[in-house]
Chain A
Amino acid sequence: MTGLPERLLTYAVLVAAAAFCVLPMIEMLWLAIQPDRVGDTGLTLANFGTAWSAGGFGTYLRNSAVVSASVVLLATLLSCLAGYAFGTMAFPGSSALFYLLLVGLMVPSEAVVVPLYFTFSAVGLTDTYLAMIAPQVAQSLAFGTFWMRAYFRSTPRELVEAARLDGAGHWRTLWSVLLPVGRPAIFTMALLVFMWTWNEFLIPLVMVINDESLRTAPLGLANFQGQYTSGAALLAAGSVLVALPVVVVYLFCQRYFIRGMLEGAVKG
């Protein structure tokens, strides 16, 4: 029903919007392959190697991997258990407890991190992985429980009944019936928690003060930016390294990402 001029106009607008979205990233990639030393010419990949070893990004990325993997594993496990309780069982106070958890969706980490820092500092827990992992698990639990509860509520009642007739208790029903069927929902949640944890900046910034070897990727990058104002190519290469893991996972699983963020947002 729509004519050629409208199609062309739509394409033009879309191309412009897409260009606006990718240009800053293209610019970063472009900067990253420029020679780092003034006077050199030609494009190079050497900056990535320099950033990885001399720039310390190898360590930073490893720390991010440790923190993200721990948060994803713990948050997923606890969310599945809690979501199972809130989604399939009725016990006194269950909805009050659930709404309490939901408050966590809205509480900004700024409000948590200040008192937490002083508590951790008093018991000597700053500059540890734990100080970065625990608060982020707590934050992810709000979304995770909410997400898994929605999944458990949507599972057909017959599935649970059938499992029970087969003699499965609540524990077996969860592990051998409901969780295997829920793999897509669990995977989506894990992806989102991974992205949020990997990109988190404030919590590592506050919790890691002295021990440079514990810096996560975004924290290392921000410090790098503050220290070397001249090395634009190295900074760009470091930025690419920090952004790359989530971007690659996104490109491969974008369906899950987009669906998860939309559904999570709409339900929230």
Chain B
Amino acid sequence: MAEPSRRTGAPPGEPRLVGYLYALPALLVFAAFLLWPILRAVSLSFYEWDGLTQGTWVGLDNYLAVVSDPTLRAPFVHALVLVLFFCVAPIGIGLALAGLMSRVRLRGMAFFRTVIFLPQVVATVVVGIAWSAIYAPQGPLNDVLSAVGLDGLATAWLGDEVWALPAVGLVGTWVFTGLCVVLFLAGLAKVPPALYEAARLDGAGPVREFLAVGLPALRGEIAVAAILTIIAALRTFDLVYVMTSGGPSNSTSVPSYEVYDRAFVEGEVGSAATVAVVLTALILAVSIGINRFAEREVT
């Protein structure tokens, strides 16, 4: 949340009480449909409630269950696995690709950028359906495997307790790699060419040059990419709903899916609200933590 530098330290604009009037409609809608529900979620999390009858006050029991109940702990562990696929892999691949692309002036760069960014704009429900087709037992992935003589590896990817979660994760890699590449390219474009020349004069090879000049310049962009992708990983819902419904045997259950399932299928609204509150807290902590980290490193 870097504050843009203000003109000579003066307060923005003039003191005007009419500002309240302009901000009021937005604040009212925001308070009614976002803040109030969040507060309600917090209060629901202290109850055991089936959504129909009178709820029972249970204090912190729902929160203790998130720690002690394996069926509530597992979704958070799965979300951490997804972070590897949504965040670590795209940032790694993104750095490599952006480093490579920024070294050479190529024709068709705009085209590559458009294509690589495309997965960002396709509805995740559609993405989930497309990848379900790819992972299907008779789908293209298994076709390719048997074509290269690896029939032994072919399996029903989404029906396999071991493979289902990585299979969903790989879709996240697919979605977010392009975003990271485009983000890093924009960052690298801001590096003064003189810095590269200096590194080259020092005899640095392409990799050393990138590590010494490009990478440090990308610190801010990496932090942004990490926040966006970690939040996306923690919030994964559409993909799991469409591809696996949390199965097989809960091997792909994730916090958001758990919230939905408990509130609207199982009739455990208090527990659902608790998972939602914990998830929100985690997301806030990750965003604030990474921001702090990125800012401290710079100074």
Contacts and interface: CB of A to CB of B under 8 A. Distances in A.
A110 B260 contact: yes
A14 B106 contact: yes
A101 interface: yes
A264 B299 CA distance: 23
A68 to B, nearest CB: 12
Please classify the interface of chain B as helix (H, G, I), strand (E, B), loop, or mixed, using the class held by over half of its residues: helix
A89 B260 contact: no
Contact of A88 (B12, B115, B241): B12
B121 interface: yes
B249 to A, nearest CB: 19
Given A97-B27, A202-B237, A265-B183, A112 B125 contact: no
Interface in B261-288: 263-264, 269, 272-273, 276-277, 279-280, 283-284, 287
A206 B264 contact: yes
Contacts of B237: 110, 201-202
Question: Of residues B33, B41, B118, B279, which shows the largest number of chain A Cβ atoms within 10 Å of its Cβ?
Answer: B33
Contact of B26 (A24, A31, A141, A195): A141
Contact of A118 (B116, B120, B269): B269
Interface stretch (A35-43, A45-53, A79-87, A182-190): A79-87
For chain B, give the interface size range: 35 or more
B220 interface: yes
B82 interface: no
B64 interface: no
A250 B118 contact: yes
Interface in B1-33: 1-2, 4, 7, 11-23, 25-27, 29-30, 32-33
B15 A89 contact: yes
A28 interface: yes
Contact of B220 (A195, A246, A266): A266
A198 interface: yes
A247 B118 contact: yes
A27 B133 CA distance: 9
Interface in A96-142: 97, 100-104, 106-108, 110-119, 134-135, 137-139, 141-142
Nearest to B182: A258
B122 A246 contact: yes
B174 A21 contact: yes
B88 interface: no
A144 B155 CA distance: 45
Given A10-B106, A81-B22, A142 B30 contact: yes
A81 to B, nearest CB: 5
Given A107-B38, A111-B277, 14 more contacts: A7-B104, A10-B100, A17-B116, A89-B13, A97-B27, A103-B284, A110-B235, A110-B276, A111-B37, A138-B30, A141-B26, A199-B121, A236-B133, A242-B123
Interface of B: 1-2, 4, 7, 11-23, 25-27, 29-30, 32-35, 37-38, 40-41, 44, 51, 97, 100-101, 103-104, 106, 112-127, 129-131, 133-134, 140, 174, 177-179, 181-183, 186, 206, 220-221, 224, 228, 231, 234-235, 237-238, 241-242, 255-256, 259-260, 263-264, 269, 272-273, 276-277, 279-280, 283-284, 287
Interface of A: 2, 6-7, 9-11, 13-14, 17-18, 20-22, 24-25, 27-28, 31, 74, 78-79, 81-82, 84-91, 94, 97, 100-104, 106-108, 110-119, 134-135, 137-139, 141-142, 145, 150, 153, 157, 170, 195, 198-199, 201-202, 205-206, 217-218, 221-222, 225, 232, 235-236, 239, 242-243, 246-247, 250-251, 254, 257-258, 261-262, 265-268
27 contacts: A7-B104, A17-B97, A17-B112, A22-B115, A24-B131, A24-B134, A25-B118, A27-B140, A28-B129, A28-B133, A81-B26, A85-B21, A90-B16, A106-B287, A107-B283, A112-B34, A112-B37, A115-B44, A139-B34, A157-B7, A199-B125, A218-B124, A222-B125, A225-B129, A239-B129, A247-B118, A258-B182
